[in-house]
Structure 1
Amino acid sequence: MTPAAPMTDPATAHTRRGRPMSRLHRLLVVSLIGLVASSGAAAAPRPATSHLVAVQPIAAPKGVGEICRLYDWACAGPTGARIPAKAMLAVARSVNTSVNARVRAVSDRQQYGREDVWALPTARGGDCEDFALAKKQRLVDAGLSPASLLIATVLDRQRNPHAVLVLRTGSGDYVLDNLTSRILPWQDTGYSFLRMQNPDKPRLWDAILAGGIFAQS
């Protein structure tokens, strides 16, 4: 995934005209929907809810394989931590702003010479999934349950592949994004949510197919 410069405010970013979905990106979405449809699960648009709802289990995105082995916290299950939503959001805002300011956006192609390398940011920086991992690590260290910190893959408003960290609270799911210092409810991002870590077993992933191109007209 190619990162954009961090700290872009959505009030500016959302006014840009979205580019048409490329053939590759279209094939990605069509194949994901096809996998869900072939199993008999519904892929039709669903009403928005405060929490992202899984459609069915699905394979993890390419490149995810090593993160559970490298970082035990990345795929750890519930810890039993109980933190009020307001407190969780306060800590998350601080971490989101800090990581976005400290980490330089650099693509996997620039850094590793290939795509889809999931890892913590290096001294050079990282791309969107690296930002998400760094934020998850910081928030787990701050006492939040790994099961409330779920990495998700999406299409952004320009329909480019992107990764974000979803903060699951009792009041809803919120998105930590390297494109903005604001933390938004998932419905307000305008993103098309493709897959997300399973909150009970974060080593596994679920198809989501919600928001953006999946939203009801």
Structure 2
Amino acid sequence: MARMTGAKAIFVAMTALFVSSSAALTAPASPLSMATGPVTSQPIGHYEFCQTHRAECAPNGRDTGAAKVTSFGWQTIRAVNDAVNNAILPMTDKELFGKDEHWAYPDGAGDCEDYVLLKRRKLIENGFSPADLLITVVRKPDGEGHAVLTVRTTEGDFVLDNLERDVRLWTETPYRYLKRQASFNPGRWVSIENGDAVMVSSVGK
């Protein structure tokens, strides 16, 4: 068998993760997707993170819409979610850094934002577009703030959460969704207009 060049190998790997078409790129957003609004305030922890990781907060360019994730892509998403959840010990920023808010890649321990940063990086390394991996701020039923990773797909928006093993549609979680990174620029944040659209059956879980 002929040996693949590096560029061809990357193309094949990307094809295994996603199935794209011009129709998929122009299709309307799924009814199971979050409706985002105008640009809003960036969390201070993410702002400080961007000062030391500027390349990760640079504009992506034009947003061409979510790709269709293949079965292999879903396996990768679930594997990354499990691996990070199992590898990181939950600890607060106060315990780790002596301050209330500090976003960083975890070194064995971290809080919710740190889990999200690591999952996002690992999925990008596996071929996912940064435009489809969006750090999202939510409010838990008890009123406490929390961060999760939203994965945009043509089937809707799915959530990777350090408090939950399963990867779920955002509407099947008990959270109120407040804001997330902009798909066109990871250094900007947008509001979520339908952030209360959780399923009744999920409340109280």
**TM-score band (shorter)?**
0.7 to 0.9
* Residue 66 in structure 1 maps to residue 51 in structure 2: no
1:209 to 1:107, Cα distance in 2 relative to 1, 3 A: farther
Structure 2 matches for 1:158-197, cutoff 5 A?
A: 158-197=142-181
Q: Is 2:171–2:198's contact at 8 Å kept on the other side of the alignment?
A: no
Maintained 8 Å contact 2:172/2:198: no
Aligned to 2:23: none
Contact 1:75-1:201 within 8 A present in 2 as well: yes
CA root-mean-square deviation: 2.5
- Give the one of 63, 86, 102 matched to 2:71: 86
In the alignment, the residues of structure 1 paired with residue 146 and residue 86 of structure 2 have an alpha-carbon distance, to the nearest angstrom, of: 19
Alignment gaps of 5+ in structure 2: 1-29, 201-205
Whole-angstrom CA distance in 1 between matches of 2:117 and 2:175:
19
Specify which structure has the higher proportion of strand.
Answer: 2
SS, match of residue 129 in structure 1:
helix
Instruction: Give 1:165 deviation, angstroms.
Output: 0.3
Report the Cα offset of residue 73 of structure 1: 3.4
- Is this contact kept in 1: 2:175–2:198, CA < 8 A? no
Deviations 1:159-198 (A, max 9, x none): 2100000011111100000001100000000210111000
Alignment correspondent of 1:207: 191
Matches within 5 A, 1:1-217: 49-71=31-53, 72-73=55-56, 77=60, 84-123=69-108, 125-212=109-196
Per the TM alignment, residue 102 of structure 1 is displaced from its structure 2 partner at its CA by 0.4
Identity level (%)? 32
**Could you state the TM-score of these two structures normalised by the residue count of structure 1?**
0.70
Work out the CA distance in 2 between the residues paired with 1:184 and 1:157.
17
- Give me the TM-score of the superposition, normalised by structure 2: 0.74
For residue 82 of structure 1, report the CA deviation from its aligned partner.
Answer: 5.4
C-alpha contact 2:137 2:146 (8 A) present in aligned 1: yes
Deviation at 1:126, TM superposition (A): 0.3
Structure 1 window deviating more from structure 2 (181-190 vs 55-64): it is 55-64
**Runs of 5+ unmatched residues, structure 1:** 1-47
Q: What letter is aligned with 1:96?
A: N
Aligned residue identity for 1:63: G
The equivalent residue for 1:20 is none
**Residues 97, 122 of structure 1: CA spacing in aligned structure 2 closer, same or farther, 3 A cutoff?**
same
Alignment length (residue pairs): 168
Q: Which has the higher contact order (CA 8 A, sep 6+)?
A: 1
Kindly indicate whether the alpha-carbon contact (under 8 Å) linking 2:34 and 2:193 is maintained by their aligned counterparts in 1: no
Q: Which residue of 1 aligns with 2:13?
A: none
Partners in 1 of 2:199 and 2:120 — Cα distance? 31
Cα deviation for residue 136 of structure 1 reads 0.2
- The answer to whether the 8 Å contact 1:197/1:205 transfers is yes
Assess if the C-alpha contact under 8 Å between 2:40 and 2:189 holds in 1.
yes
Name the CA distance, whole Å, in 2 between partners of 1:83 and 1:207: 24
